[in-house]
């Protein structure tokens, strides 16, 4: 195992993670130049466009070091957003080292900090790298000082490099060999391999990327997933270079893939431990007694309704969701009926970004026209009879008289920011009903710990945090508990009719304000119709806000002075096209944005 190094790259968006990874792969001969497409490691189109990595991928590199020995360097890619923090922690826990890439012309930025702390918590050796040294305004001294002040690690040996010109690449590879410790597992113990990532391949079924911690796995061995208990045959094994390269076995310390005829992604959960059920070729011990630490069952945190704009598209939306789910085990969905929107699906997501990605893929890859309702968290409701139910759709909230308590999910949030933003971040956290638990200094960087309702976070907390801190603050959060809370359901009525898909759940102290704000936002969004439209917000039978949209549809044609038929038709066509993502509710045409009006409300 002394010739193996497992490492990943931590970087702020745009600091050059993908470019550097490509360089390292190219230098180690993994891909011929013509195969080098920009950013090999980000495989999905959307990833490229959004510039984030959704699924971790990996490359096993062969590097002949200056000491004359050939090393096996496994580069493990990590996703970079708060919705995927669990995946980040699993990929980092599969590494002994991490390159911390800092753009020498920009210095340390907040997003890197949270991942860097995760790495340090997991005792991963962090090797700082100063990228973009070819830029005229590169300031390596400043970047070094910031790494020491903000992250609190020694940056004397930070390596200057340029992923663009190739400067420093050799030094980085040497540093990986010299500074990242070799893996420490026990090759003679029972097999324990951690699933770092898993995805569905149309030809071979589920592919698992694993880090073998102890023992040995050979082709054909019978394996078992320790958390799910499912058993399979390890039909084929191999490593990614990043192309796949079949192997007869994977040894302790190695990173590679297993294909075992698994049809369901849920059977190969990230963080689960793979062990053997029959003696393999590894020795006497085969079934591990203890799984590797850190496995968590990931539950969707945010729910929203997804409806086709045309009722006839329901089946094709179902097919699309089914296909997406094949490769995204954290996506949940089940059929749901709304009086206003007809047949659709209640979908569960890891967070808002995950929801956006799914929505975008449905529209782009599957050509779906969707209406999405406002995201909601899951509430725990104690009914008057004592029964406890989970409510993930505001419109399903029982009547007030039938509930004795509503509990909302509370999360522990860690907020990281430079000192100068502590004040504004605290103000924001207080507005969002946060309770401060702790404050810790790491050099110039501060970590605030809050307990906060998840419902406040899913609305717009992340965007607000970025805007008050000019992008410098970052966060991560984890579920803590359900806690009793004075939340109420606010219904929205159009011409006196309750629109189930528009109901929201908010804290009573904010209900008046939010009700009013949503109603006035909707007034801006819903265009004028043939009739007057009354928009109201109500808590139970109490109307708390009202706006009226005056009838005005004739205006579309008003400019046409009667005569010009073709122009008239054009205008009507145009109006029809504009209606595409609209839904007829009673006599009112409601555009897609109206369902998300709650997200557009400013505090």
Closer to ligand GTP by Cβ: residue 33 or 602:
33
Strands (E), 248-299: 249-251, 255-259, 273-276
CB of 322 to ligand GTP, least distance (A): 29
Interface region with ligand GTP, contact rule CB under 6 A, candidates 11-19, 223-231, 239-247, 537-545: 11-19
Residue 133 labelled as part of a binding site:
yes
Closer to ligand GTP by Cβ: residue 19 or 74:
19
- The only residue of 51, 160, 220, 283 in contact with ligand GTP, by rule CB under 6 A: 51
Q: Does 134 bind ligand GTP (CB under 6 A)?
A: yes
Count, residues near ligand GTP per rule CB under 6 A: 19
Interface region with ligand GTP, contact rule CB under 6 A, candidates 7-15, 85-93, 371-379, 490-498: 7-15
Closer to ligand GTP by Cβ: residue 163 or 371:
163
CB of 180 to ligand GTP, least distance (A): 20
* The pair of three-digit structure tokens given for residue 421, joined into one six-digit string: 């933003």
Q: How far is CA 450 from CA 81, 335, 447, 457, 474, in A?
A: 19, 36, 10, 12, 13
- The only residue of 6, 8, 19, 115 in contact with ligand GTP, by rule CB under 6 A: 19
DSSP 8-state secondary structure symbol assigned to residue 101: E
Residue 19 labelled as part of a binding site:
yes
**479 neighbors 318 (Cβ within 8 angstroms):** no
Q: How far is CA 603 from CA 416, 462, 488, in A?
A: 22, 14, 18
Q: Does 55 bind ligand GTP (CB under 6 A)?
A: no
Q: Does 18 bind ligand GTP (CB under 6 A)?
A: yes
Interface region with ligand GTP, contact rule CB under 6 A, candidates 132-140, 430-438, 540-548, 582-590: 132-140
602: helix, strand or coil: coil
CB of 210 to ligand GTP, least distance (A): 24
Interface region with ligand GTP, contact rule CB under 6 A, candidates 14-22, 483-491, 496-504, 568-576: 14-22
Closer to ligand GTP by Cβ: residue 115 or 395:
115
- The only residue of 4, 5, 16, 155 in contact with ligand GTP, by rule CB under 6 A: 16
Q: How far is CA 24 from CA 56, 255, 288, 300, in A?
A: 17, 17, 35, 36
Interface region with ligand GTP, contact rule CB under 6 A, candidates 9-17, 68-76, 395-403, 525-533: 9-17
Residue 36 labelled as part of a binding site:
no
Q: Which residues contact 579 (CB under 8 A, 6 or more apart)?
A: 589
**Ranges within 147-176 binding ligand GTP (CB under 6 A):** 162-164
**240 neighbors 60 (Cβ within 8 angstroms):** yes
362: helix, strand or coil: helix
Q: Does 17 bind ligand GTP (CB under 6 A)?
A: yes
Q: For residue 440, with 0-12 CB atoms within 10 Å meaning exposed, 13-18 middle and 19 or more buried, which class applies? A: exposed
Q: Does 571 bind ligand GTP (CB under 6 A)?
A: no
* The pair of three-digit structure tokens given for residue 460, joined into one six-digit string: 């717009």
Residue 132 labelled as part of a binding site:
yes
Q: Does 330 bind ligand GTP (CB under 6 A)?
A: no
Q: Which residues contact 541 (CB under 8 A, 6 or more apart)?
A: none
CB of 305 to ligand GTP, least distance (A): 31
Q: Does 106 bind ligand GTP (CB under 6 A)?
A: no
Q: How many CB atoms lie within 10 A of CB 316?
A: 14
Cis peptide before 242 (omega within 30 of 0): yes
Any idea of the CA torsion for 163, 164, 168, 170, to the nearest 10 degrees?
80
Interface region with ligand GTP, contact rule CB under 6 A, candidates 6-14, 211-219, 329-337, 493-501: 6-14
Give the sheet arrangement for strand 370-372, strand by strand: 332-338, 342-349, 302-308, 370-372
Q: Does 80 bind ligand GTP (CB under 6 A)?
A: yes
**4 neighbors 71 (Cβ within 8 angstroms):** yes
Task: Name residue, tokens 């002075």.
Answer: 561
Q: Does 45 bind ligand GTP (CB under 6 A)?
A: no
CB of 72 to ligand GTP, least distance (A): 24
C-alpha to C-alpha distance for 520 and 110, rounded to whole angstroms: 36
- The only residue of 31, 46, 65, 135 in contact with ligand GTP, by rule CB under 6 A: 135
Residue 139 labelled as part of a binding site:
no
Question: Nearest to residue 213, comparing CAs of 235, 192, 242?
Answer: 192
CB of 64 to ligand GTP, least distance (A): 24
Closer to ligand GTP by Cβ: residue 78 or 503:
78
Q: Does 132 bind ligand GTP (CB under 6 A)?
A: yes
Closer to ligand GTP by Cβ: residue 163 or 212:
163
Q: Which residues contact 536 (CB under 8 A, 6 or more apart)?
A: 492, 493, 496, 519, 543, 545, 546
- The only residue of 2, 14, 248, 400 in contact with ligand GTP, by rule CB under 6 A: 14
Strands (E), 465-569: 474-484, 487-494, 497-498, 504-507, 533-539, 542-549
Q: Does 464 bind ligand GTP (CB under 6 A)?
A: no
**511 neighbors 484 (Cβ within 8 angstroms):** no
Residue 275 labelled as part of a binding site:
no
- The only residue of 4, 8, 15, 525 in contact with ligand GTP, by rule CB under 6 A: 15
Task: Name residue, tokens 């045409």.
Answer: 589
Q: Does 13 bind ligand GTP (CB under 6 A)?
A: yes
Strands (E), 296-402: 302-308, 332-338, 342-349, 370-372, 379-383, 388-391
Q: Does 331 bind ligand GTP (CB under 6 A)?
A: no
* The pair of three-digit structure tokens given for residue 258, joined into one six-digit string: 């297993």
Q: Does 112 bind ligand GTP (CB under 6 A)?
A: no
DSSP state letters, 168-219: THHHHHHHHHHHSPPP---TTS--EEEEEEEEEETTTEEEEEEEEEESEEET
Interface region with ligand GTP, contact rule CB under 6 A, candidates 126-134, 221-229, 377-385, 408-416: 126-134
Q: Does 280 bind ligand GTP (CB under 6 A)?
A: no
Q: Does 414 bind ligand GTP (CB under 6 A)?
A: no
Which residues line the annotated binding site for GTP?
A: 14-19, 131-134
Site residues (vs ligand GTP, CB under 6 A): 11, 13-19, 39, 51-52, 80, 131-132, 134-135, 162-164
Which residues line the annotated binding site?
A: 14-19, 131-134
């Amino acid at each position: 195992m002394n010739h193996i190094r497992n490492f990943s790259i931590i970087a702020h968006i745009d600091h050059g993670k993908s470019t550097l990874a490509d360089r390292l792969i190219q230098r180690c001969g993994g891909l011929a130049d013509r195969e080098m497409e920009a950013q090999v490691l980000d495989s999905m189109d959307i990833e490229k466009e959004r510039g984030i990595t959704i699924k971790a991928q990996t490359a096993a590199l062969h590097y002949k070091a200056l000491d004359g020995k050939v090393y096996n360097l496994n580069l493990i890619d990590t996703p970079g957003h708060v919705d995927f923090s669990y995946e980040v922690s699993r990929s980092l826990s599969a590494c002994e080292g991490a390159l911390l890439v800092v753009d020498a012309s920009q210095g340390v930025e907040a997003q890197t900090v949270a991942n860097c702390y995760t790495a340090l918590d997991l005792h991963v050796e962090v090797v700082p790298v100063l990228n973009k040294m070819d830029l005229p305004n590169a300031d390596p001294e400043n970047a070094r000082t910031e790494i020491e002040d903000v992250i609190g690690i020694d940056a004397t040996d930070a390596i200057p490099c340029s992923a663009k010109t190739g400067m420093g690449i050799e030094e980085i590879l040497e540093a990986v060999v010299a500074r990242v410790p070799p893996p420490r597992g026990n090759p003679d113990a029972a097999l324990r391999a951690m699933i770092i990532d898993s995805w569905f391949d149309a030809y071979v079924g589920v592919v698992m990327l694993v880090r073998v911690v102890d023992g040995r796995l050979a082709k054909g061995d019978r394996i078992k997933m320790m958390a799910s208990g499912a058993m399979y045959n390890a039909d084929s094994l191999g490593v990614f270079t990043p192309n796949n390269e079949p192997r007869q076995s994977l040894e302790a310390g190695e990173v590679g893939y297993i294909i075992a005829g698994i049809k369901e992604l849920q059977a190969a959960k990230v963080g689960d431990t793979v062990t053997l059920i029959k003696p393999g070729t590894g020795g006497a011990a085969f079934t591990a007694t203890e799984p590797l630490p850190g496995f968590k069952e990931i539950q969707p945190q945010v729910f929203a309704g997804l409806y086709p704009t045309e009722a006839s598209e329901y089946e094709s939306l179902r097919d699309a969701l089914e296909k997406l789910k094949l490769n995204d085990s954290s996506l949940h969905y089940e059929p749901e009926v709304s009086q206003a929107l007809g047949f659709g699906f209640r979908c569960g997501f890891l967070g808002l970004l995950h929801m956006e990605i799914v929505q975008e893929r449905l529209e782009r890859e599957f050509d779906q026209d969707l209406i999405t309702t406002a995201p909601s968290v899951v509430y725990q409701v104690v009914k008057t009879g004592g029964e406890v139910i989970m409510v993930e759709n505001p419109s399903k909230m029982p009547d007030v008289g039938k509930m004795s308590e509503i509990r909302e999910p509370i999360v522990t949030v860690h907020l990281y920011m430079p000192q100068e933003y502590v004040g504004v971040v605290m103000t924001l956290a207080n507005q969002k009903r946060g309770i401060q638990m702790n404050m810790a200094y790491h050099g110039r960087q501060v970590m605030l710990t809050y307990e906060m309702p998840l419902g406040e976070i899913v609305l717009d907390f992340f965007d607000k945090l970025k805007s008050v801190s000019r992008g410098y603050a970052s966060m991560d959060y984890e579920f803590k508990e359900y806690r009793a809370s004075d939340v109420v359901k606010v219904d929205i009525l159009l011409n006196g009719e309750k629109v189930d898909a528009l109901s929201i759940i908010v804290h009573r102290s904010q209900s008046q304000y939010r009700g009013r704000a949503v109603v006035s936002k909707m007034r801006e969004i819903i265009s004028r119709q043939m009739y007057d439209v009354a928009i109201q917000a109500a808590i139970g039978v109490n109307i708390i806000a009202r706006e009226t949209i005056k009838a005005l549809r004739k205006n579309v044609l008003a400019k046409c002075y009667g005569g010009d038929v073709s122009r008239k038709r054009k205008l009507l066509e145009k109006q029809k096209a504009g209606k595409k993502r609209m839904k007829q509710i009673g006599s009112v045409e409601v555009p897609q944005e109206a369902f998300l009006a709650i997200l557009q409300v400013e505090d």
